[in-house]
């Protein structure tokens, strides 16, 4: 559980190692989107499904 929170709040791009920026895409869905400032990497967290969706490209 501690590791889960660490991963959720401090993450870095696998390509350039910059800290990912966190965005709340939608208050209703509460989906959290993290993305590299250089657009290398994007990760979405869906609390309703307890699921991460990772992608190499930022949509
Ligand atoms: Zn990057």
The domain total for the chain is 1
- Find the 10 Cα to ligand 1 centroid distance in Å: 14
Q: Find the radius of gyration of the CA atoms of the chain.
A: 11
Global pTM value:
0.65
The neighbourhood of ligand 1, an ion, using CB within 5 A, equals: 13, 15-16, 36, 38, 40
Q: pLDDT category, 48, cuts 50, 70, 90? A: confident
- Find the 52 Cα to ligand 1 centroid distance in Å: 18
11-43: pLDDT as tens digits: 899 999 999 998 876 666 788 889 999 999 999
Question: Rounded to the nearest 10 degrees, how much is the dihedral formed by the CA atoms of 57, 54, 7, 9?
Answer: 50
Q: Are 33 and 22 contacting, i.e. CB atoms less than 8 angstroms apart? A: yes
Q: How would you classify the pairing of strands 51-55 and 31-35? A: unpaired
The whole-number pLDDT of residue 45 equals: 86
Q: Whose structure tokens read 């250089």?
A: 38
Residue numbers of the domain that contains 29: 2-55
The whole-number pLDDT of residue 49 equals: 83
Look at residues 20, 53, 22 and name the one whose alpha carbon lies nearest to residue 38.
20
- Find the 48 Cα to ligand 1 centroid distance in Å: 27
- Find the 26 Cα to ligand 1 centroid distance in Å: 23
């Amino acid at each position: 559980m501690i590791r889960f929170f660490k991963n959720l709040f401090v993450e870095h791009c696998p390509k350039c190692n910059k800290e990912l920026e966190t965005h709340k895409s939608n208050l209703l869905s509460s989906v959290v989107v993290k993305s590299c400032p250089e657009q290398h990497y994007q990760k979405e967290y869906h609390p309703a499904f307890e699921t991460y969706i990772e992608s190499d490209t930022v949509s």
